[in-house]
Amino acid sequence: MIERLCYEMIESIGEDPSREGLLKTPQRFSKAIKELTVGYSQNADSIVNGAIFEQADSEMIVVKDIEFYSLCEHHLLPFFGKASVAYIPNGKIIGLSKIPRIVNMYARRLQVQERLTEEICTEISRILNPKGVACSIEGFHMCMMMRGIQVQSSKMITNSLHGLFKSNPLTRQEFFSVIK
């Protein structure tokens, strides 16, 4: 299905899908697009897979500069960048490697950066019920950089703040100073 659509797209932009360099492109594109959207077949509970541990004290935990690659749902063009996630435990912590995997589960779907930021926070809230959770994402959007207004340096920053990160200015300040 995806292969056929890709073949037709190549044809409709005026290219020749039968020339050598393009012969296997529909096949490669189909494989690539499935990989870039693999997040639809994943869920957080199987990613976490029980890696939740008791933790008495409750200092802020920050995972900084998590690389991600996503596709903008408006143009099906890539956007990519770094996500930083923090939470304040409420008796439970999560295996550190799980947070980048949750970020990438949501990144590998059709997205807008605002929703990606929010979904990461909401998922961590659901799993850990922490005292607070925050996510800040810096993204470069190919749909802005390669087309339209072509603002090549433009970087989009989105933040989502829940719990103490929202209600306590000092906590919020600490988060932003750690990730900057």
Q: Which residues bind Zn ion (CB under 5 A)?
A: 72, 74-75, 143
Distance of CA 54 to the CA centre of its chain: 27
- In angstroms, give the least distance from the CB of 11 to Zn ion: 24
Given the residues 8, 15, 73, 114, the one annotated as active site: 73
Q: What is the rounded CA–CA span in Å between residue 87 and residue 131?
A: 7
Active site residue 113: yes
Question: Which amino acid, one-letter code, is at 8?
Answer: E
- Count of residues in the chain: 180
Q: What is the rounded CA–CA span in Å between residue 86 and residue 144?
A: 28
Of 61 and 72, which CB lies nearer to Zn ion in the complex structure?
A: 72
Given the residues 75, 118, 138, 174, the one annotated as active site: 75
Of 64 and 74, which CB lies nearer to Zn ion in the complex structure?
A: 74
Of 99 and 144, which CB lies nearer to Zn ion in the complex structure?
A: 144
- In angstroms, give the least distance from the CB of 78 to Zn ion: 9
Neighbouring C-beta atoms of residue 10, cutoff 10 Å: 18
The residues, any chain, with a CB within 8 Å of residue 174's CB and separated by 6 or more, are 60
- In angstroms, give the least distance from the CB of 147 to Zn ion: 9
Q: What is the rounded CA–CA span in Å between residue 128 and residue 33?
A: 32
Given the residues 11, 74, 114, 173, the one annotated as active site: 74
DSSP state of 149: T
Of 23 and 151, which CB lies nearer to Zn ion in the complex structure?
A: 151
Active site residue 74: yes
Residue numbers annotated as active site = 72-75, 113, 141, 143
